[in-house]
Amino acid sequence: MWTWVLVVAFVIFAFAAQWPAMFAVTLHSKAILATTLIALGTGIFEESLFRGTFFSVFMANMQYRSRSYQLTRSAIYSSIIFGLIHITNVIGGNLQAVLQQVVYAMAFGLFLCVIRVMTNTLLWVIIIHAVADWAPATATGSGPT
């Protein structure tokens, strides 16, 4: 049952983020190789750090304090950190857009935590994160602000 809920949530999430249109643009981009490498690197690094290290540290820490809502609290804490790390984008961007990105990253982080717990592997969250970052603006630095 939960697998279907996640699949439906993923499809809704993908269309809300306009992934189909983004993929069409990326496939016709001159920077497709750079875009792919940056997206994979970002997916591997960020997921290893946030869904791997931080999530695991919170899980281990919760074991000794309180076991109630251990998974939920660990997912929320690691997702908050994941969202807040995106505030660094304010340096070169629009504050309102960056704040929206922070909230989006927190929600996306929670979604990825659920995938991580359900599959007990980082492989799927790395792939999903890389797909989410696979856009020409990632490599060229251009795009909507």
Instruction: Name the pTM for this structure.
Output: 0.78
Show contacts of 125-129: CB within 8 Å, 24+ apart. 125/47, 125/51, 126/43, 126/44, 126/47, 126/48, 127/43, 128/10, 128/43, 129/42, 129/43, 129/46, 129/47
pLDDT along the chain (145 residues), means of 10: 75 75 74 86 95 93 74 93 90 85 92 91 93 70 50
